[in-house]
């Protein structure tokens, strides 16, 4: 295992070699309503691991690019039903400068940690997952676990669907940072590259993701703190997908790690 916070060199793969989602997978994003329906049908008989009174974990939810906190409302309600406490990052449309968004999320994170007296679990979808990982590097002592859902940790503007990449580039132009925003040269302090995680991290990805190519969503560090978990889901549908909910509920049921400064390796739970 490498040293926490260190970087793993990129492969020799050029930007031209990077893959984007296929047209078939893009069209597959239309199955989002079906995934939501399947969840409620499959939830009836599943033995969800509910927390005992007073033993639930605080969970901070961060939405994806151009999405709002409201997109994660069903997930928040589900977690509260399991016995956990939830809060949002305070995002109406996730299109602001990454530095400003992370600073606001940091305030929420510190507030939750102070109020609950416990480390916080952060669940981030897509771009929200990148922010969750950045928070874990800035405040590892405040975070219990990070769970990312379809988050492109490898050159997001070069591995996402061309329409999404175009919107991201346009937002960067408006900020006067076309060549830097959400890239390796981002001047806001977000290091989007192979940096070793400092807290247990569950990376959820789907080979049928129609927004971010699945290979870019897999953590490449080989860290003992990371588990890459595959699901069958659309990108947008991860917020309501039954398999994703099972993974999240299982990880939330794992006993909180020690307060020791030495981090424990991730403990995998059955899917």
In this predicted structure, which of 101-110, 149-158, 183-192 has the lowest mean pLDDT?
183-192
How would residue 7 be classed by pLDDT, with cut points 50, 70 and 90?
Answer: very low
Could you tell me which of 86, 85, 75 has the C-alpha nearest to residue 39?
A: 75
158-190 residues labelled b (16+ CB within 10 A) or e (exposed): bbbbeebbeebbebbeeeebeeebbbeebebeb
| pTM of the full structure | 0.79
Could you tell me which of 219, 131, 217 has the C-alpha nearest to residue 182?
A: 131
On the question of pLDDT at 11 being above 60, the answer is: no
Q: Chain-wide mean pLDDT for the chain?
A: 78
- 96 within 8 A of 34, measured Cβ to Cβ: no
- C-alpha separations of 250 from 48, 79, 136, 269 in Å: 8, 11, 20, 6
In this predicted structure, which of 28-32, 93-97, 119-123, 166-170 has the lowest mean pLDDT?
166-170
On the question of pLDDT at 150 being above 60, the answer is: yes
Q: Report the pLDDT value the prediction gives residue 172, as an integer from 0 to 100.
A: 54
How would residue 106 be classed by pLDDT, with cut points 50, 70 and 90?
Answer: very high
- Per-residue pLDDT, averaged over 126-152, amounts to 94
DSSP label at residue 251: H
Residues 6+ apart with CB under 8 A from 61: 69, 72, 75, 76, 86, 87, 88, 89, 122, 123, 124, 128
* 203-215 tens-digit pLDDT: 999 998 888 888 8
The domain ranges of the chain are 20-44+56-154+196-252
- The beta strands (E) that lie in 63-218 are given as 85-88, 120-125, 143-149, 201-206
Q: How far apart are CA 111 and CA 99, in angstroms?
A: 19
CATH code for the structural domain at 20-44+56-154+196-252: 3.40.50.1820
The DSSP element (H or E) to which 23 belongs, if any, is helix 23-27
* 15-74 tens-digit pLDDT: 545 676 565 656 656 666 777 777 677 676 788 999 988 889 999 999 998 889 999 999
Percent of the chain with pLDDT over 90: 45
Residue 59 tokens read as 């969970």
Of the two residues 5 and 98, the one the predictor is more confident about is 98
Q: Report the pLDDT value the prediction gives residue 157, as an integer from 0 to 100.
A: 60
Alpha-helix runs per DSSP H in 52-93: 73-82
- Per-residue pLDDT, averaged over 222-238, amounts to 92
Q: Report the pLDDT value the prediction gives residue 133, as an integer from 0 to 100.
A: 93
- Per-residue pLDDT, averaged over 73-91, amounts to 95
Q: How far apart are CA 192 and CA 201, in angstroms?
A: 16
Taking the CB of residue 117, how many other CB atoms lie within 10 A of it? 7
Residue 84 tokens read as 């956990």
Could you tell me which of 141, 107, 148 has the C-alpha nearest to residue 124?
A: 148
């Amino acid at each position: 295992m490498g040293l926490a916070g260190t970087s793993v060199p990129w492969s020799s793969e050029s930007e031209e070699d990077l893959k984007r989602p296929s047209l078939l997978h893009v069209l597959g994003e239309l199955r989002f309503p079906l995934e939501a329906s399947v969840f409620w049908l499959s939830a009836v008989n599943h033995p969800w691991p509910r927390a005992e009174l007073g033993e639930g974990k605080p969970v901070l939810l961060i939405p994806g690019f151009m999405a709002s906190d409201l997109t994660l409302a069903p997930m928040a309600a589900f977690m509260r039903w399991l016995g956990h406490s939830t809060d949002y990052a305070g995002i109406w449309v996730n299109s602001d400068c990454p530095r400003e968004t992370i600073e606001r999320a940091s305030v929420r994170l510190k507030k939750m940690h102070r109020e609950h007296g416990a480390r916080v679990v952060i669940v981030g979808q897509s771009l929200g997952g990148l922010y969750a990982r950045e928070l874990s590097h800035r405040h590892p002592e405040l975070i219990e676990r990070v769970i990312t859902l379809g988050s492109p940790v490898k050159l997001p503007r070069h591995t996402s669907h061309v329409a999404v990449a175009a919107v991201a580039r346009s937002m960067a132009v408006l900020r006067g940072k076309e060549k830097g925003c959400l890239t390796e040269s981002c001047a806001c302090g977000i290091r989007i590259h192979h940096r070793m995680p400092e807290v247990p991290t569950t990376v959820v990805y789907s080979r049928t993701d129609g927004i971010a190519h699945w290979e870019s969503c897999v953590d490449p560090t080989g860290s003992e703190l990371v588990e890459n978990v595959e699901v069958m889901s659309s990108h947008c549908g991860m917020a309501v997908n039954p398999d994703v909910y099972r993974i999240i509920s299982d990880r939330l049921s794992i006993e909180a790690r020690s307060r020791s400064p030495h981090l424990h390796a991730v403990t995998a739970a059955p899917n």
